[in-house]
Structure 1
Amino acid sequence: MSDKPLKLVLCWHMHQPEYRDTSSGEFKLPWTYLHVIKDYVDMVAHLEAVPTAKAVVNFAPILLEQIEDYSNQVSAFLQDRIGIKDPLLAALVDPSISADPEKRLKLVHDCRKASRERQINRYPMFRKLTEMAEWIQSHQDAINYVNSQFITDILVWYHLAWMGETVKLTDTRVQRLIEKGSGFSLHDRIEILEIIRDLLSKVLYRYKSLARKGRIELSVTPYAHPIMPLMLDLNSALDATPQALMPVLEAYPGGEQRVQWHLAKGVETFKHFFGFEPQGCWPSEGGISAATLKTLSDFGFKWAASGGNVLHNSLQASGFNDVGSLHHPFKLASTDIACFFRDDGLSDLIGFEYSKWHADDAVADLIQHLENISDLTEPGSVVSIIMDGENAWEYFPDNGYHFLTALYQRLADHPLIELTTFSACLESKVPIKPLSQLVAGSWVYGSFSTWIGDADKNCGWDMLGDVKKAFDRVVSEGRISEYQQAVAEQQLAICEGSDWFWWFGDYNPGEAVSDFERQYRLNLTNLYRLLGEEPPAYLALAFTQGSGAPVMGGAMRRGNEI
């Protein structure tokens, strides 16, 4: 056992895809603002509460832009009554609830999109309204006899349930509304929007302030969250899964230039919000390959990170025993970038198991695992726990409040564990091991099977290849202006995001697949129109559907297959 504390990096990755219809500016799905008021504010509040705690917080640039847009829209509505381009948020403050039966049914349906156990059943009145909503969904003619107060109350409760626990504990306005319980007025609804405005307008500054004080490290992801190895070489998918079914598309046209664009645009956007250049990059989905690490190294990043199974596959391919190797950064030959690897076991315990435990027991169990690692590893070891910063907490009691409170405090106080950051590890000269070979993969199973290799996912890639070829042709022929090209390039970036491919496939829930599949086709259609091209007829038809019931709704996956 080392006499030096075990270094532990908690890395929280915050990301949402582009939910706007760029042709109209309308948000088609509300997840960005809902995760702000629930998760992003809670996560920064927990860090603020423990001055000795440290963590890495990674933001996808396209998420930062959407947060800014929501903040501006909500402020414009409250100041000048300019309409909000999010149907759910707009309905919250609409003076007259729509009488249209279809619109009412959609609102009733959308206000049920929350954890039944943790968000809905926690509040008896919200549970009662939800049970009524379920009955209405199965007897849709009844919507004609539902009064506006029912719609108002379920809208208010939905937003109250999505408020972060730290907000509920400190904001007297939220407490008063929860206590009121029913019969909410327009004044109450506008008050909720004022709360949302306050949260939206301050959340990014709070992270920036902690970074300035050296209490967290902020890092970045390529602009619209593309899978860089696949853009650089589609066949890198075969490294970890040699028998995978591949798209008709043999290579993504101009992939290297597109990766460079996403990195440059990502850093530019990050600097706009935080005022400095990031030292590290969490590659989208932890997706790396030798070419990707070389690109990140050439771009000037000091560190990247990926999944533990990527390291396992790489060491195995190199003929090395990987026992004890996980808790070290590695450097691939011909690059100057250190790559850290996720401890999948510990990360998955937080993501999938500890929500079922008492918070104190869960934190004690995690610390016991860390103490065991400390006993078995050499000095300079680094444990990397890397997770989405938003998706796990709705499955914990009280949005993970008790778990995260105990986690930060007990880790910060532990004599044998040092909470730190990836950049701080490099500054302290932790040993970096050489890596002679890299098997391309992601944090999910160490492969790219979540994004390619399935018939529906491959169809998505072929559609993307089609529109990229159209883009290249129109640009090369000089058929659009420089400004139009810049707008089209931005739209292309949205189409290249990883999230669309994540959801394609029948093992995912039907509604989520439909939402993302529809948005993907809309994104492609908008790009064709920006190029002055007629969208292909196939974009009018759904090409994938879901019927699965994966754990936690499919928004999270384990690092290891089970």
Structure 2
Amino acid sequence: MALQPMKKLYLCFLWHMHQPYYKNPYTQVFEMPWVFLHAIKDYYEMPWHVSRYPKIKATFNLVPSLIKQLYEYIKNPDSCNLIKTFKKPVETLSKEEKNYILDISFNANLNTMIKPFEKYYQLYLKKHSSNAKFTNQELIDLQVLFLLSWAGNYLRENNQLIKSLIEKKSGFTHQEKLDLINQLVKFLKEIIPFYQKLQSNRKIEISTTPYYHPIIPLLIDLTSAKESLPNITLPKTKVSFKDDAQLHVKNAVSFYQEVFKIQPSGFWPSEGSISNDTIKLFSQYNVKWTASDEDVLYNSLASKNLENIYKVYKYEGVYLFFRDKYLSDAIGFRYQNVDEKQAVKDFITRLKHIYEKVEFNPVVSVILDGENAWEFYKNNGKDFFDALYTELSNQDWLEVITFSEVLEKTIVIENLSSIKAGSWIYGNFSTWIGHPEKNTAWEYLSQAKQILESEKESKNYQKAKTYLLIAQGSDWFWWYGDDHFSHYADRFDLLFRLNLQKVYEELEKPIPTNLLKPIKKLYKQPTLKQPTGYLKPIIDGYVSNYYEWLQSGEIDLRFDLSSMSFETILEKLYYGYDEEYLYLRLDGKVESITDKGYKLKMSILSTCEVEFIVPIQSLLYENNGLKACTKKVIEIAIPINLFNCRNFDLSFTVLEDDKIIEKLPVYSVLNIDISKDFTYDWIV
């Protein structure tokens, strides 16, 4: 009697590597350096982690516009504003260039990238002190330490210059800075060949995305946004970009074949956005498989049976995978605040639960950004990946393989009769359309498309078309509206409008004046409302009356949750002050953690670092003048003399037995200003 084959769980990782096209169409300069910085930190490092574990395979999605920019960096690194500015001797820098360096060079995670370098942290504190002036030596040190903080583990372990500079710690020379830049630029040449080698050895699979990373369902039909959100407000001016959608796919396939010498099997659709027509388009170009989010599947099946996401589906001849949102978001957002062993134990336990619960061989798809999470992990995630890949390698009941390989296994494949259009953000398209700013961008894009298509005989039609395609990238729309925050939102807005201006210029048409004005209404901080007067709340865990917090400031603590979103305990902060106290009120699901042993840590960073930890309890807590109480809300009064500062950065951490449950904001801090004098501002 033949033995029954052992049941298996097939785990498929997809790491999505993506950046929008940052080159200014007029100056041909890269306005923002994120392609370069993630290249030296993540684009080589992520497949390197996989290469070190014989039993681990993964799929890497490389967006064509990212690869194109890597090639352009290799050809002309001085086309990057950061590299060009950093190469200059500091004594020759203009005031504007020095300000640029002081702004960009602190774009690193405080705890995981800045604090590990003692001198870098000192410079950070100096930047946040009043009237800070940097010497030329400090500017050189700042630039070198910034680049070292972005250098990944592979470089730190294998590049002798980087090792020696880390050991030196400070006092760097201009020549050492130039040598470092040259070494980092040289390293860029190794990235794509490394992927090519790993794919040829069947260690990884490389998928691709429509060329400039647009939302294909919206290009095909803007009204597809109504499938998941029937009441969404659409742009007033609407045209069809269906032919452009086809170009994005066609150009991606051609570019992939040029780079990797084979036909792509898989497409990760930009932002996991799919629809019936999108899959039909993929099918025309012989795409074997694609993927999206579990919410899109649930919407399509009109059922939220968890087991369904561990099957593979087929529509119009294309295989569809749907990612496990919890496991994907756990790596992307939760595990960064947890000990590696604890995080991996949680991950494996949840996989085992899936394995034991279903009666078939489950396919678990874990899909997330392959570049954005790791700066929030200790050691750029290396400790986490070492623990994760080691434990996964030791489980005989699961196999970590690529998406194409899993299709060769004994798995459940079901036909889908229809797909409800949506993305991996909430299962809809609200991140890219519906808000007045987002709709304005679509209207400008539509107007440019109409002009372009009326000039098909123009000698510059193809050039103009390229700029239109760039302007269709998803990132421009992402940063419009008030759902996501970026210090550089104005740069994204500018690049979007400049590409549309180029469409008109290439066609020798007058540029509409509306394209000269910003669409984005900038908010330097995610503050919905600044304090309008002194407060004097009763610290009892209740909003005692309408007027108690009426004059407070208000901040959405989830403001920086870009990419995927997940449930948080803390949701909103209300804050204010009087001459003696800083008052904080935290709203959210606080009753779920009250009187259960949880604690709240408040971290204040100004010219010094101060932390306050209070129990989340219904009994009034008092210590050295500080008061806290939690019932319906968390209310806290902190004597200002305990931190003695009127402008500071603030963050909150929820602890359970000293383990971090959540930190908010997730990726940044809140800048709080309590310096205004309200002595004569009275409400009667």
TM-score, with structure 2 as normaliser:
0.76
Shift in Å, 1:166: 2.4
For 2:82, give the aligned amino acid: L
1:253-268 counterparts in 2 under 5 A? Answer: 253=240, 255-268=241-254
1:268-287 counterparts in 2 under 5 A? Answer: 268-287=254-273
The answer to whether the Cα contact below 8 Å between 2:291 and 2:323 also exists between their aligned partners in 1 is: yes
What does the per-residue CA deviation read over 1:151-209, in whole Å, with 9 as the maximum and x for residues that have no partner?
21111111000011222123221121012122211221122123212320001111111
Aligned residue pairs, count: 535
Cα distance between partner residues in 2 of 1:228 and 1:550: 31
What does the per-residue CA deviation read over 1:253-286, in whole Å, with 9 as the maximum and x for residues that have no partner?
3x22111111111111112222211101001111
Shift in Å, 1:100: 1.6
What is the match of residue 425 of structure 1?
A: 406
Cα distance between partner residues in 2 of 1:502 and 1:4: 42
For 1:105, give the aligned amino acid: N
What does the per-residue CA deviation read over 1:276-305, in whole Å, with 9 as the maximum and x for residues that have no partner?
111010011110001111111121001010
Cα distance between partner residues in 2 of 1:516 and 1:555: 15
What is the match of residue 83 of structure 2?
A: 89
What is the match of residue 520 of structure 2?
A: 544
Q: CA RMSD in A?
A: 1.9
Shift in Å, 1:17: 0.3
Tell me, what secondary structure is at the counterpart of 2:217? helix
Cα distance between partner residues in 2 of 1:204 and 1:556: 25
Worse overlay, 228-237 or 435-444? 435-444
- Select 2:178's aligned residue among 166, 183, 190: 190
What is the match of residue 532 of structure 1?
A: 508
The answer to whether the Cα contact below 8 Å between 2:22 and 2:32 also exists between their aligned partners in 1 is: yes
Q: For residues 326 and 430 of structure 1, do their structure 2 counterparts lie closer, same or farther at Cα, with a shift above 3 Å needed?
A: same
The answer to whether the Cα contact below 8 Å between 2:455 and 2:461 also exists between their aligned partners in 1 is: no
Cα distance between partner residues in 1 of 2:357 and 2:415: 21
The answer to whether the Cα contact below 8 Å between 1:2 and 1:374 also exists between their aligned partners in 2 is: no
What is the match of residue 79 of structure 1?
A: none
What does the per-residue CA deviation read over 1:389-436, in whole Å, with 9 as the maximum and x for residues that have no partner?
000101100110101122122212311111011111112253211212
Tell me, what secondary structure is at the counterpart of 2:156? helix
For 1:29, give the aligned amino acid: M
Tell me, what secondary structure is at the counterpart of 2:400? strand
Tell me, what secondary structure is at the counterpart of 1:370? helix
What does the per-residue CA deviation read over 1:328-375, in whole Å, with 9 as the maximum and x for residues that have no partner?
11123xx00011001001101111110001111111110110000000
What is the match of residue 201 of structure 1?
A: 189
The answer to whether the Cα contact below 8 Å between 1:511 and 1:546 also exists between their aligned partners in 2 is: no
What is the match of residue 80 of structure 1?
A: none
What is the match of residue 220 of structure 1?
A: 208
1:4 matched to 2:7? The reply is yes
What is the match of residue 300 of structure 1?
A: 286
What is the match of residue 549 of structure 2?
A: none
Shift in Å, 1:546: 4.3
Shift in Å, 1:550: 6.3
What is the match of residue 37 of structure 2?
A: 34
Cα distance between partner residues in 2 of 1:169 and 1:33: 19
Cα distance between partner residues in 2 of 1:15 and 1:514: 20
Shift in Å, 1:69: 0.9
For 2:34, give the aligned amino acid: W
The answer to whether the Cα contact below 8 Å between 2:90 and 2:139 also exists between their aligned partners in 1 is: no
What is the match of residue 53 of structure 2?
A: 50
1:114-513 counterparts in 2 under 5 A? Answer: 114-135=108-129, 139=131, 143=133, 146-250=134-238, 252-253=239-240, 255-316=241-302, 320=303, 322-332=305-315, 335-475=316-456, 478=457, 480-481=458-459, 484-509=460-485, 511-513=487-489
What is the match of residue 109 of structure 1?
A: 103
Cα distance between partner residues in 1 of 2:486 and 2:260: 38
For 1:211, give the aligned amino acid: Q
Tell me, what secondary structure is at the counterpart of 1:19? coil
Q: For residues 380 and 546 of structure 1, do their structure 2 counterparts lie closer, same or farther at Cα, with a shift above 3 Å needed?
A: farther
What is the match of residue 77 of structure 1?
A: none
The answer to whether the Cα contact below 8 Å between 2:483 and 2:559 also exists between their aligned partners in 1 is: no
In the alignment, structure 1 segments of 5+ residues that lack a partner are: 75-83
Cα distance between partner residues in 2 of 1:149 and 1:185: 8
1:63 matched to 2:66? The reply is yes
Cα distance between partner residues in 1 of 2:317 and 2:461: 34
Shift in Å, 1:559: 6.7
Cα distance between partner residues in 2 of 1:150 and 1:277: 50
Cα distance between partner residues in 1 of 2:515 and 2:397: 56
The answer to whether the Cα contact below 8 Å between 2:431 and 2:478 also exists between their aligned partners in 1 is: yes
TM-score, with structure 1 as normaliser:
0.92
Cα distance between partner residues in 2 of 1:99 and 1:437: 59
Tell me, what secondary structure is at the counterpart of 2:565? coil
For 1:312, give the aligned amino acid: Y
Cα distance between partner residues in 1 of 2:522 and 2:364: 36
Tell me, what secondary structure is at the counterpart of 2:354? helix
Shift in Å, 1:321: 5.8
The answer to whether the Cα contact below 8 Å between 1:331 and 1:432 also exists between their aligned partners in 2 is: yes
Cα distance between partner residues in 2 of 1:560 and 1:295: 34
The answer to whether the Cα contact below 8 Å between 1:505 and 1:513 also exists between their aligned partners in 2 is: no
Query: Runs (4+) of structure 1 moved beyond 6 Å?
Result: 559-562
Bigger share in strand: 2
Tell me, what secondary structure is at the counterpart of 2:59? strand
The answer to whether the Cα contact below 8 Å between 1:245 and 1:454 also exists between their aligned partners in 2 is: yes
* Structure showing greater Rg: 2
Worse overlay, 379-388 or 425-434? 425-434
Worse overlay, 170-179 or 438-447? 170-179
Cα distance between partner residues in 2 of 1:303 and 1:99: 51
Cα distance between partner residues in 2 of 1:172 and 1:216: 28
Tell me, what secondary structure is at the counterpart of 1:297? helix
- Give % identity: 34
Q: For residues 267 and 561 of structure 1, do their structure 2 counterparts lie closer, same or farther at Cα, with a shift above 3 Å needed?
A: farther
Shift in Å, 1:122: 1.8
Q: For residues 97 and 523 of structure 1, do their structure 2 counterparts lie closer, same or farther at Cα, with a shift above 3 Å needed?
A: farther
The answer to whether the Cα contact below 8 Å between 1:391 and 1:556 also exists between their aligned partners in 2 is: no
Shift in Å, 1:21: 1.1
Shift in Å, 1:2: 8.8
The answer to whether the Cα contact below 8 Å between 1:229 and 1:291 also exists between their aligned partners in 2 is: yes
The answer to whether the Cα contact below 8 Å between 2:424 and 2:564 also exists between their aligned partners in 1 is: no
For 2:92, give the aligned amino acid: S
Q: For residues 48 and 321 of structure 1, do their structure 2 counterparts lie closer, same or farther at Cα, with a shift above 3 Å needed?
A: closer
Cα distance between partner residues in 2 of 1:292 and 1:133: 48
Bigger share in helix: 1
For 2:162, give the aligned amino acid: V
For 2:518, give the aligned amino acid: A
Cα distance between partner residues in 1 of 2:245 and 2:568: 29
Cα distance between partner residues in 1 of 2:364 and 2:237: 39
The answer to whether the Cα contact below 8 Å between 1:61 and 1:270 also exists between their aligned partners in 2 is: yes
For 2:565, give the aligned amino acid: R
The answer to whether the Cα contact below 8 Å between 1:15 and 1:60 also exists between their aligned partners in 2 is: yes
The answer to whether the Cα contact below 8 Å between 1:304 and 1:338 also exists between their aligned partners in 2 is: yes
For 1:512, give the aligned amino acid: Y
Cα distance between partner residues in 2 of 1:342 and 1:559: 15
Q: For residues 411 and 97 of structure 1, do their structure 2 counterparts lie closer, same or farther at Cα, with a shift above 3 Å needed?
A: farther
- Select 1:15's aligned residue among 11, 18, 23: 18
What is the match of residue 81 of structure 1?
A: none
Cα distance between partner residues in 1 of 2:146 and 2:558: 23
1:515 matched to 2:491? The reply is yes
